[in-house]
A = this chain, B = another copy of it.
Amino acid sequence: MHEKGFNNTGLQEILREAGIAKGSFYFYFKNKEDFGLQVVDAFFTHFADFAHQYFNDDSLSHVMRIKNFFNEFLDFFVNGDYKGGCPIGNFTLEMADVNDKFREQLLLIVDKSTSLVADQILLAQNKGEISNLDNPHSLAEFIFFTWEGMIMQMKLSRNTIALEQFNYHIFQNLLYKTEKTR
């Protein structure tokens, strides 16, 4: 589903891969749509657990915690031959225009995810690591979706050049931009 898309993956295929019977599936999920929505939820739980590990590392600056968090996905991408990418991005481009339940669920998950990053940005601002000119949540959203754009480039080129550009522009330039001038 991660590679082929939601619509393009049949329920039979999901049951076969998971090794469960149809009856069991319908005990837990109303239908395939309900299953997809719960996949989105489950991904957020995974994302949040992962974020907390990085964001609670008191030995590093808050900017470095954010940077390390995003960069942790690199190994995963390289090991997966640059396929798959981010389930949130994939679901968004496939479903947001045609299914409001998915759009609303994804919007909620993105808001929760970017809030975790925004908390770190606010701490970085309060501790004087970076400029406090930008709204932390807007900045977190910009960083999150810039990352999604870079993942798109990675899927085309099958390399991590765009993700390195992300590190350079976001962490070397953008976050520190007014640091040098104030």
Contact = CB atoms under 8 A, between A and B. Distances in A.
Interface of A: 3-5, 7-8, 83-85, 89-90, 92-94, 96-98, 103, 106-107, 110, 138, 141-142, 145-150, 152-153, 155-157, 161-162, 165-166, 169, 173-174, 177, 180-181
A66 to B, nearest CB: 16
Contact of A149 (B98, B152, B157): B152
A99 to B, nearest CB: 10
7 contacts: A8-B8, A85-B97, A110-B153, A142-B169, A145-B149, A145-B162, A147-B149
Contacts of A152: 89, 92-93, 145, 148-149
Interface SS, A side: helix
Contacts of A165: 138, 141-142
A148 B147 CA distance: 10
A118 to B, nearest CB: 13
A166 to B, nearest CB: 8
Contacts of A162: 141-142, 145
B3 A155 contact: no
Contact of A146 (B7, B90, B146, B180): B146
Contact of A180 (B84, B166, B181): B181
A155 B7 contact: no
Given A142-B165, A145-B153, A148-B149, A90 B92 contact: no
A124 to B, nearest CB: 17
B145 A150 contact: yes
Contact of A103 (B90, B142, B149, B156): B156
